[in-house]
Amino acid sequence: MGMQMKNFKKMMTLMALCFSVAITTSGYATTLPDIPEPLKNGTGAIDNNGVIYVGLGTAGTSWYKIDLKKQHKDWERIKSFPGGAREQSVSVFLNDELYVFGGVGKKNSESPLQVYSDVYKYSPVKNTWQKVDTISPV
């Protein structure tokens, strides 16, 4: 029984050491520069290369990207979203393209609030948006 307790204590010490090493080597945060304009109720996604894309919401049809791998990190404006200003959209990166699903918005200040079920995709290589011939799964 004494040997089991001794081995248990060694194992727990080793696990605590491994855990603390993991936290100190991978648990860090980097402060990024401010986005060029206020962004609330928008959407965003990160690609497999460490580039973050954010847009829509209070930024209207604007989109920005920032490359986390660059030494000097700064937001860069990309092509504006062609589907109109909207909030609460959902976005994801898939096969090296950014997909934006739905959202809510108004065509103009007098029109009623509208729920969008459309889908757009953005090609970072071409800096182009394209409407996808489908509807979002809502």
Q: Over the stretch 2-14, which tens digit does the pLDDT of each residue have? A: 556 666 665 555 5
The structure's pTM equals 0.76
Closest CA to 53 of 136, 123, 105: 123
Strand locations in 8-127 (E): 43-46, 51-55, 63-67, 76-78, 90-94, 97-105, 114-123
Is 73 or 137 the better-scoring residue by pLDDT?
73
pLDDT in the model for residue 80: 98
Q: Is the pLDDT of residue 27 over 70?
A: no
Find the mean pLDDT for residues 66-91: 95
Q: Checking DSSP bridges between strand 90-94 and strand 76-78, what pairing results, if any?
A: unpaired
Average confidence (pLDDT) over 109-129: 94
Question: What residue ranges do the domains of the chain occupy?
Answer: 43-132
Q: Mean per-residue pLDDT for 93-108?
A: 93
**CA-wise closest residue to 120 among 94, 87, 81, 88:** 81
Average the pLDDT over 21-46 and give the result: 78
Whether the pLDDT of residue 22 is over 50: the answer is no
Q: Where are the beta strands (DSSP E) in 19-89?
A: 43-46, 51-55, 63-67, 76-78
pLDDT score at 2: 58
